[in-house]
Amino acid sequence: MSTSERDLIVGGQAVIEGVMMRTPNAYAIAVRKADGSIVNTAARLPKWSDKVPLLKLPVLRGGAVLLQSMGLGIKALNLILIQIAWWGQ
């Protein structure tokens, strides 16, 4: 196992009928539909500290990451709500 594989930081959270996984540079959301198929989406995550150097300070960086994680959670829930709306049709 290479050093980069061993040091990979991955976190995640359960969402309704799915999961959201996040690394420092990207995220993925997977949701199971009523028919058993899985819908997924993935994208890169911009580092806010690259645009705002002040966010490299430890406490500010943590707050920015928390806000970004909360935004991703809301995005995951919106994806689920869209899928539920399609199930009802």
Domain extent for 43: 3-87
- According to the model, what pLDDT value does residue 86 have? 66
Distances (CA, A) of 3 to 6, 9, 85: 5, 12, 44
The tens place of each residue's pLDDT in the chain, 89 residues long, gives 566 666 788 888 888 888 889 888 899 998 888 788 888 889 998 888 889 999 999 999 999 989 988 888 888 888 878 777 765 55
Distances (CA, A) of 46 to 24, 27, 52, 85: 9, 11, 11, 30
- According to the model, what pLDDT value does residue 44 have? 93
CATH number at residue 63: 3.10.450
- According to the model, what pLDDT value does residue 88 have? 55
H/E element holding 19? strand 18-22
Domain count, the chain: 1
Pairing of strands 26-32, 11-15: unpaired
